[in-house]
Chains A and B, each alone.
Chain A
Amino acid sequence: MKGRKRLDFILLFAVLALVGIGIVMVYSTSAILAGDRFGDPYYFLKRQALYAAVGFVLMLVMMFLPHETLKRVAYPILIFSVLLLVVVLVPGIGHRSGGAMRWLKIQSFSFQPSEFAKLGLVIFLAYLLAKKEEKIRSFSFGFLPPVLLSGLVIALVMKEPDFGAAFFLTVMVFLLLFVSGARVIYIVGAFLIAIPVAYALLMNVGYRYKRLMSFIRPWEDPGGTSFQIIQSFLSFGSGGLFGLGLGEGRQKLFFLPAPHTDFIFSVIGEELGLLGAMVVVLLFFIVALRGIQIALSLEDRFGVYLALGITLMISLQAAINMGVVLGLLPTKGLTLPFVSYGGTSLIANLAGVGILLHLSTHAERR
């Protein structure tokens, strides 16, 4: 029996609230930076608003697009994602910033293929895992293909390098594999293999090692490598229970690295206090809860994986970002979904929410 359900408004409102908070906080954190760099304090605010608008349009489109359509385009999306990830690595086309080739520049706008690839990989994995069904328990037919294909995407992301995104994708892939019923022994085995690889990567690149050390012993060298995480602590501490007030934060004045992107949650903690930050956490929690409920309410495996993947894409990344800025995890270049400044990420996430919302209306009743 198939029946139409009401649109999940709670999820929609939670996402709208997050996007709203994001736009406000992007302005608060970037006004001085933008005034300094572009001579226009509204530079980042205007763009973030524009991205949000584009994102909402895409969200609406996805809400009305039957998700079976996505099944058909799963391979093309994966191929397109891989293509983009390759193109961005080509010198002259990819835009280098801060030692990483992560962006494709189109006039003054930049596009981040890895953010698109996240959603692409979620759609593809949902398709692949749904198709495998019980065969997932076998190694060569079930386990290996998704791992290898995901591994290709992750390797390309790693090449940029974007260690944060690669780490997040790896965790997400294994979590989805776990849900699909893949043998735990394979998952653990893959992890064990990944450890020396990760170790080699860490030790080869100085800054990653330093970041890790600064995570382990942050107060040992507060002026040096631990600078970022210490600054984040100071933000949270300054904010206290009620915060310094919107726009009153001082840590964003070049003390905090990337206050409008990676460390925007620190500024929320400083300006809006524990209460404000708690609201943001709760909103993400609501998104996670609703997403999982939608997944659980679906009969169709593709829909379940899709809903789970998108939910993880949002809430797991949020949890990792918060864990990083709170010093619970080593520093990664991960943004806070909906809230941090960044066009590709915001648009891709909103598109994902569109799919989720579509699935909520399309829930099947047993």
Chain B
Amino acid sequence: MKQKSINWFKVRIVFLSCLLFVCFVFVMGRMFQLQVLKKEQLYKLAAQQQHVQIPLVPKRGTVYDSNGDELAASIEVESVYADARKVVDVEKTARELASILQIDREELRQKLKTHRPFEWVQRKVSSKEAERIKALQLPGVSFLKENRRFYPNSQLAAHLVGFVGLDSKGLEGIEFQYDALLNGESHVWTAARDALGREIAMGNVPFEKEDHYRNIVLTVDKAVQHIAETELDRGVEKWGAKGGMVIAMDPSTGKILAMASYPTFNPNQFIQYRSKSWRNGAISDVFEPGSLFKVFLAAAALEEQVVRPSDSFYCENGSYTVYDRTIHDTSKHGWLTFQQILKFSSNIGASKVGEKMGRERFYRYIAAFGFGEKTRINLPGEGKGIVHHPRYWPPVALDTISFGQGISVTGIQLVTALSAIANGGFLMRPYVVEKTLNEKGEVVQSFQPETIRKVISGATAEKVTALLKTTTEKGGTGEGAVPAGYDVAGKTGTAQKVDSLLGGYSETRYTSSFMGFAPSDEPKLALLVVIDEPQGGNYGGVVAAPIFKAIMEKVLPYLHVVPKGTMIVKNGLNSAPRKEASEAQPVIDGIKVGKGAETVVMPDLKGLSMRNALSRIEGRGLIIKVSGNGKVVEQTPRPGTVVERGDICFLKFRSPS
């Protein structure tokens, strides 16, 4: 009996043990399930709550001009955020911050009440605001460093460089086109945090990573750009015009040296300007080129040997009816040679040359010069222009296109095509980016000139250039475009604008333009000036040519192109003559040069005679270039500038009248 009861007792104990054992098996099974089977899923969830991820505006690459001056730069600014859990006094914090930052207090109050560990209060505040907030030492209010875009030259090259939005996304221009390169990898600030939302240092510290952004060096020269913009502004204002554009190109490479459009804006406050003024008209505006287009007619006709410069055409005394249209000339002409047709810009003459060419042939050249196609300049928003296939040309189109009516082009197309003539017939692809650099300033990619095709022969190009030179000679329409001391090959353009309301050509609204290159024998600069709807004058030769001249006058010396009639005073027993010296003429040898100091300060030479002036600066190892005669009226470098051996010195003389 007792034996049996003991057995039952022990059986119950064993049963109890089994129960315990089952419990442990369940525990271990569950552990396996959570730690092996569901591991990934749970780990992800844990990582999510243990980290705060805040996307930050990264450092953005700098945009430089060709000389390394900053056009767009990133500056570090502070952004204010709040850790709502640590905010002690919501009312006070909201009141203080709202008054300093001038933001909505109620909205801020709601944010601070969320108990979230991260809420932006205001991003990219000024340093003054940041200092004031820091001085208050509000608990729960902290700062993060972000980057803000800054355009140190304000309006300069605004259309070209473009601008970025608040989130550092490029919206226009280079900023838009090269957004991915400039921005590099986007930054996310990841910080480990505890359940109270406090950041805890656990390995990864933000901002330690490389940014991987690129800097961009443009082909544009700040100085040239500045000249172009200043003269364009002045011209537009003088003529009360609606707008305008200037494009300067190195014709042999296709490099854009300057590109200006009017109206312009300040990219630092782009939002305060009408979106219309953000438009880079130089590449996106499409307009009828008018007489400018005769240049390409001439090139085609000469290449095809349809005409010789000396061939004569009857210009119908200023009125020529083709089909249903009557073509007029500004001044009545009888018989004109082809050369004179260009010089006086006769529409009737051009029509007759065009008729001789035939539409198919003419069209082939229009297309070859790149009209009707994008130039593929690396900028956003480029226009194509309107060039119909000859199949669709109305009968009179051949005549009108010959003088630039019934065809639409962009500024960049015109200056690119013109450059082909200046460049021996080679059409170059225009480009604005010289190279890209990495953070350390090492070149990552550099862009080379790209020849698109050969449009005309070198001989034809020379002939066209010669024709274009005559238009800027005395009596030519482009007389006013020539700066003293330089040869300019160019063409005026005066186009009536299409009246969209009446469907014909407006009698009052014009596009006045001038394009050309200089020096004509060895072109260094191709330049297009277009003024949209000038008031009180409309001829390209009157409105645009003086702007062209003013720009050329300043830019050519800057590009070290020596004016005609400049004498080069060779220097240096020790130093070899510089390249510039051999280019210029006449050269006066043998002016005595002594052993000068390595660097000297430029004296003021104004008002001195040539002899006196030269004696003051000779023997300093300078390459001295002089023009004119009489007394010194202009000198470069300016008085007081430190110059050294081998520097070029221009002196301009004029005789007192």
B192 within 8 A of A: yes
Closest to B40 in A: A237
Which B residues lie within 8 Å of A239 (CB)? 35
Which residues 5-27 in B have Cβ within 8 Å of A in the complex? 5, 8-10, 12-14, 16-17, 19-21, 23-24, 26-27
- In the bound assembly, the distance between CA atoms of A225 and B196 in angstroms comes to 17
Task: In the complex, identify which listed stretch (B45-53, B159-167, B238-246, B536-544) lies at the interface while the others stay far away.
Answer: B45-53
- In the bound assembly, the distance between CA atoms of A281 and B50 in angstroms comes to 28
B391 within 8 A of A: no
Report the minimal beta-carbon distance from B89 to chain A, rounded to whole angstroms.
Answer: 22
Instruction: Flag if B43 contacts A238 (CB, 8 Å).
Output: yes
Report the minimal beta-carbon distance from B597 to chain A, rounded to whole angstroms.
Answer: 69
Instruction: Flag if B42 contacts A234 (CB, 8 Å).
Output: yes
Size of chain B's interface in residues, with CB distance under 8 A? 40
Closest to A238 in B: B46
Instruction: Flag if A292 contacts B24 (CB, 8 Å).
Output: no
Q: Interface readout for A279-294 with B: 1 if CB under 8 Å, 0 if not?
A: 0010011001100100
Closest to A273 in B: B35
Report the minimal beta-carbon distance from B226 to chain A, rounded to whole angstroms.
Answer: 57
Instruction: Flag if B26 contacts A328 (CB, 8 Å).
Output: yes
Which A residues lie within 8 Å of B13 (CB)? 179, 292, 295-296, 304, 308
- In the bound assembly, the distance between CA atoms of A273 and B43 in angstroms comes to 12
Closest to B39 in A: A240
- In the bound assembly, the distance between CA atoms of A277 and B34 in angstroms comes to 12
B38 within 8 A of A: yes
Instruction: Flag if B35 contacts A308 (CB, 8 Å).
Output: no
- In the bound assembly, the distance between CA atoms of A273 and B19 in angstroms comes to 26
Contact of B35 among A134, A254, A277 (CB under 8 A): A277
Contact of B31 among A32, A234, A254, A269 (CB under 8 A): A269
Which B residues lie within 8 Å of A80 (CB)? none
Which A residues lie within 8 Å of B17 (CB)? 288-289, 292
Contact of B28 among A281, A295, A316 (CB under 8 A): A281
Instruction: Flag if A241 contacts B31 (CB, 8 Å).
Output: no
Instruction: Flag if A319 contacts B41 (CB, 8 Å).
Output: no
Which A residues lie within 8 Å of B444 (CB)? none
Closest to A295 in B: B13
B30 within 8 A of A: yes
B443 within 8 A of A: no
A9 within 8 A of B: no
- In the bound assembly, the distance between CA atoms of A239 and B170 in angstroms comes to 44
Report the minimal beta-carbon distance from B543 to chain A, rounded to whole angstroms.
Answer: 71
Which B residues lie within 8 Å of A289 (CB)? 17
Say whether, besides A269-B31, A288-B17, A292-B17, A238 and B42 are in contact (CB < 8 Å): yes
- In the bound assembly, the distance between CA atoms of A281 and B20 in angstroms comes to 12
- In the bound assembly, the distance between CA atoms of A315 and B9 in angstroms comes to 20
- In the bound assembly, the distance between CA atoms of A31 and B90 in angstroms comes to 31
A255 within 8 A of B: yes
Instruction: Flag if A178 contacts B16 (CB, 8 Å).
Output: yes
Instruction: Flag if B50 contacts A255 (CB, 8 Å).
Output: yes
Instruction: Flag if A255 contacts B195 (CB, 8 Å).
Output: yes
Contact of B195 among A253, A278, A288, A312 (CB under 8 A): A253
Which A residues lie within 8 Å of B32 (CB)? 274
Which residues 117-148 in A have Cβ within 8 Å of B in the complex? 134
Say whether, besides A234-B42, A277-B35, A319 and B30 are in contact (CB < 8 Å): no
B194 within 8 A of A: yes
Report the minimal beta-carbon distance from A232 to chain B, rounded to whole angstroms.
Answer: 9
A161 within 8 A of B: no
How would you classify the secondary structure of chain B's contact residues: helix, strand, loop or mixed?
helix
Instruction: Flag if A326 contacts B27 (CB, 8 Å).
Output: yes
A235 within 8 A of B: yes
Which B residues lie within 8 Å of A323 (CB)? 23, 26-27, 30
Which B residues lie within 8 Å of A304 (CB)? 9, 13
Instruction: Flag if A179 contacts B46 (CB, 8 Å).
Output: no
Instruction: Flag if A255 contacts B35 (CB, 8 Å).
Output: no
Which A residues lie within 8 Å of B26 (CB)? 323, 328
A251 within 8 A of B: yes
Contact of A237 among B5, B45, B192 (CB under 8 A): B45
Report the minimal beta-carbon distance from B47 to chain A, rounded to whole angstroms.
Answer: 8
A327 within 8 A of B: yes
Which B residues lie within 8 Å of A134 (CB)? 5
Report the minimal beta-carbon distance from B167 to chain A, rounded to whole angstroms.
Answer: 29
Size of chain A's interface in residues, with CB distance under 8 A? 44
Instruction: Flag if B10 contacts A241 (CB, 8 Å).
Output: no
Contact of A315 among B20, B45, B50, B200 (CB under 8 A): B20
B36 within 8 A of A: yes
Closest to B37 in A: A237
Q: Interface readout for B572-604 with A: 1 if CB under 8 Å, 0 if not?
A: 000000000000000000000000000000000
Report the minimal beta-carbon distance from B498 to chain A, rounded to whole angstroms.
Answer: 65
- In the bound assembly, the distance between CA atoms of A307 and B34 in angstroms comes to 34
Say whether, besides A292-B17, A319-B27, A253 and B194 are in contact (CB < 8 Å): yes
Instruction: Flag if A179 contacts B28 (CB, 8 Å).
Output: no
- In the bound assembly, the distance between CA atoms of A56 and B14 in angstroms comes to 30
- In the bound assembly, the distance between CA atoms of A181 and B41 in angstroms comes to 48
A169 within 8 A of B: no
Which A residues lie within 8 Å of B10 (CB)? 296
Which A residues lie within 8 Å of B45 (CB)? 234, 237
Q: Interface readout for A232-248 with B: 1 if CB under 8 Å, 0 if not?
A: 01111111110000000
Which A residues lie within 8 Å of B46 (CB)? 234-235, 237-238, 250-251
A310 within 8 A of B: no
Report the minimal beta-carbon distance from A301 to chain B, rounded to whole angstroms.
Answer: 8
Instruction: Flag if A255 contacts B194 (CB, 8 Å).
Output: yes
A322 within 8 A of B: yes
Which B residues lie within 8 Å of A269 (CB)? 31, 34-35
- In the bound assembly, the distance between CA atoms of A304 and B10 in angstroms comes to 10
Q: Which of B31, B41, B192 is packed against the most chain A CB atoms within 10 Å?
A: B31
Q: Which of B14, B46, B192 is packed against the most chain A CB atoms within 10 Å?
A: B46
Contact of B42 among A237, A250, A254, A292 (CB under 8 A): A237
Report the minimal beta-carbon distance from A274 to chain B, rounded to whole angstroms.
Answer: 4
Instruction: Flag if B30 contacts A328 (CB, 8 Å).
Output: yes
Instruction: Flag if B39 contacts A288 (CB, 8 Å).
Output: no
Say whether, besides A292-B17, A328-B30, A234 and B24 are in contact (CB < 8 Å): no
Instruction: Flag if B36 contacts A241 (CB, 8 Å).
Output: yes
Report the minimal beta-carbon distance from B571 to chain A, rounded to whole angstroms.
Answer: 75
- In the bound assembly, the distance between CA atoms of A288 and B43 in angstroms comes to 33
Which B residues lie within 8 Å of A255 (CB)? 49-50, 194-195
Contact of A319 among B9, B16, B20, B200 (CB under 8 A): B20
- In the bound assembly, the distance between CA atoms of A284 and B27 in angstroms comes to 12
A7 within 8 A of B: no
- In the bound assembly, the distance between CA atoms of A253 and B202 in angstroms comes to 12
Instruction: Flag if B194 contacts A281 (CB, 8 Å).
Output: no
Instruction: Flag if A237 contacts B43 (CB, 8 Å).
Output: yes
Q: Interface readout for A22-42 with B: 1 if CB under 8 Å, 0 if not?
A: 000000000010000000000
- In the bound assembly, the distance between CA atoms of A120 and B19 in angstroms comes to 24
- In the bound assembly, the distance between CA atoms of A323 and B30 in angstroms comes to 9
Report the minimal beta-carbon distance from B85 to chain A, rounded to whole angstroms.
Answer: 11
- In the bound assembly, the distance between CA atoms of A134 and B192 in angstroms comes to 63
Report the minimal beta-carbon distance from B304 to chain A, rounded to whole angstroms.
Answer: 80
Instruction: Flag if A181 contacts B36 (CB, 8 Å).
Output: no
Contact of B9 among A179, A235, A241, A250 (CB under 8 A): A179
23 contacts between A and B (CB under 8 A): A181-B8, A181-B12, A233-B38, A234-B46, A238-B42, A241-B35, A241-B36, A250-B192, A251-B50, A255-B194, A269-B35, A281-B31, A289-B17, A292-B13, A296-B14, A312-B20, A319-B27, A322-B27, A323-B27, A323-B30, A326-B30, A327-B30, A328-B27
Q: A234-B42, A319-B23 are in contact. List 8 more A-B contacts (CB 8 A).
A: A237-B45, A241-B36, A288-B24, A296-B14, A304-B13, A308-B16, A312-B20, A319-B20
List the 9 closest A-B pairs by CB distance, nearest first: A237-B42, A253-B194, A254-B195, A234-B46, A319-B23, A236-B34, A274-B35, A255-B195, A326-B30
